[in-house]
Amino acid sequence: MALISSISSNTSPIQNNSHQAISNSRDKEIQGLMDQKSRINEQIEAVKSNENMDKKLKQERVQALKTSIQEIDAQIAQIKAEEMQEKIENSKPNKAEIKKPETEPTSDITAESMHVLLQNHITYDRLGKLVGLSKKVEGEIKPLEGEVKLEEVRLSNNPTHDAGRATMLENAERTVLQTKRDRVQDIKSTVRSIDSKIGDAVSELKDNGNTAATRKDLPRSLLHPEGTEKEDQDHSSASQKKTDTAEAPATGVSGQLNDKSSGSRSIDIRV
């Protein structure tokens, strides 16, 4: 394979400063998220050591804080993926500064193939983490709703018309039960946010697949590698098992995942 004959080594100082500024901004953002994780971990320890707090309330609080940590981890992974993607883009030589032999297109095909491959790998990895996080967070809804219903039934069962029990129900509706209902709504909001990110990742995979498909000179193995069917089915089935508590946005994402599974198979990400 013929080598690229010449590549200009001069890089604009302004461009370098711009890349450095973006990198520093990302580093600060990641550091800020890491600081948040540290503070949340401290809150978890404080809750666990609080002997005056109700046991159930303590468990709910700890679980909520752990969910926040998982969301922060997903944000950090997203930032790092964007940083890696930018490095790939910046590593591409400027077309105006390159002189390529007309008889050797193989190097272009290989570079484009690797770019699509890595891009899909990053997106697939992020998609898998988001799907797992969505299922885990959504799994907290039913237990909370069950506790609310059970407590309502217990306090409503008042055959003797005891005024004290009726007062207890009113107080519970305003305090404990309302707190749990608010928590359910917060979880549903979090699920919708995660599912929106899942939809973005699915669209990104489709766009990558369509871009690769329009390049007839790319190897067929890049468009239809062996082993991708299982990963697509896993993500699709995870979406299909969404419950009604995720509401309309989650349903929309399920459709997108099903479309993805019946469309282009992008890449095998097994390690």
Q: What is the pLDDT along the chain (271 residues), one digit of tens a residue?
A: 444 444 444 445 555 566 677 777 888 888 988 999 899 999 989 888 888 888 888 888 888 888 888 888 888 888 887 777 777 777 766 555 555 555 455 555 566 667 777 777 788 888 888 888 888 888 888 888 888 888 888 878 877 777 777 788 888 888 888 888 898 999 999 889 888 888 888 888 777 766 655 555 555 444 444 444 444 445 445 454 554 444 444 344 344 434 444 444 443 434 3
Contact criterion met (CB below 8 Å) for 44 and 66? yes
Checking 30-37 for CB contacts under 8 A at 24+ apart, the result is 30/76, 30/79, 30/80, 33/72, 33/75, 33/76, 33/79, 34/76, 36/72, 37/69, 37/72, 37/73
211, 222, 226, 260: which is closest to 240 by C-alpha?
260
- Its pTM stands at 0.42
The CA distances from residue 41 to 28, 53, 67, 161, in Å, are 20, 18, 11, 46
220, 198, 234: which is closest to 264 by C-alpha?
220
The residues spanned by each domain of the chain are 22-90+110-214
Contact criterion met (CB below 8 Å) for 113 and 216? no
259, 253, 119, 141: which is closest to 194 by C-alpha?
253
Neighbouring C-beta atoms of residue 150, cutoff 10 Å: 10
Predicted confidence (pLDDT) per residue in 99-115, tens digit:
555 545 555 556 666 77
The CA distances from residue 32 to 26, 68, 127, 128, in Å, are 10, 14, 23, 25
Predicted confidence (pLDDT) per residue in 41-64, tens digit:
999 898 888 888 888 888 888 888
Contact criterion met (CB below 8 Å) for 229 and 264? no
Contact criterion met (CB below 8 Å) for 203 and 243? no
CA 253 to chain CA centroid, nearest Å: 13
